[in-house]
Amino acid sequence: MTLEKKTLSILGAILLSVLLFTFFRIYYLKHKQVEEYKEDLQTMQTESFSALETLEGEPFFIDVKDEKVKVVEHWASWCITCQGDLNQLSALAKEYISEPVSFYAINRKEPRSTIMSYLKEFFPTGIENIEVIIDINDTHFIAVGGYTMPETIVYNQTGEVVLHIHGPISTLKLQQVLDGLFVQELH
């Protein structure tokens, strides 16, 4: 083997080693970051549930691990599609009244007077079977990775997110997910 071929072989081996090391290093760091992010998110979500209030100003906490399914809708009065979503969610809540599921409509840090005016105008008889609460500083919305309006999240009986819809809800999709959770519960 000539010196030139030997040199090229050595350089090729070195280059391959560097590329492999770089790939595995990036993969390891990315995996580590994802795991750390998941831990941080879990902590933030737990803390963010304590930043909620009822319409009466009382502290409110959603226990996502109480063995009930939770459907959480983030909304605001300025959101054009939120009114339709809240109507659909109310109808769905009525349909699942006998199931172990709780429905929450979490307003994104608007003044209580704005929320009350909105509810009085668009839901004069109230939103049936849905607990309306306020995310007083938007902590919960941020913690769950919200970035559009409305946002709907479904938590299973153990508190895991099984559906996160960014944008208007699909009643059919929500029904499929809920029905799937209740069928699993029977087995």
**What integer is the mean pLDDT of 19-27?**
67
Instruction: Kindly report the number of other CB atoms within 10 A of residue 84's CB atom.
Output: 13
Domain 52-186, what fold? Glutaredoxin (3.40.30)
**What integer is the mean pLDDT of 131-152?**
90
Average pLDDT, the chain: 84
- Has residue 21 got a pLDDT over 60? yes
What was the pLDDT predicted at 39?
59
Secondary structure (DSSP) of 49-84: GGGEEETTS-EE---TTSSSEEEEEEE-TT-TTHHH
Instruction: Kindly report the number of other CB atoms within 10 A of residue 76's CB atom.
Output: 18
Closest CA to 77 of 86, 64, 69: 86
Q: What is the pTM of this model?
A: 0.72
Q: Which two tokens stand for residue 113?
A: 């007077």
What pLDDT digit, counting tens, does each position of 65-96 carry? 788 999 999 999 999 999 999 999 999 999 99
d(CA 122, CA 114): 12
What was the pLDDT predicted at 15?
77
What was the pLDDT predicted at 187?
44
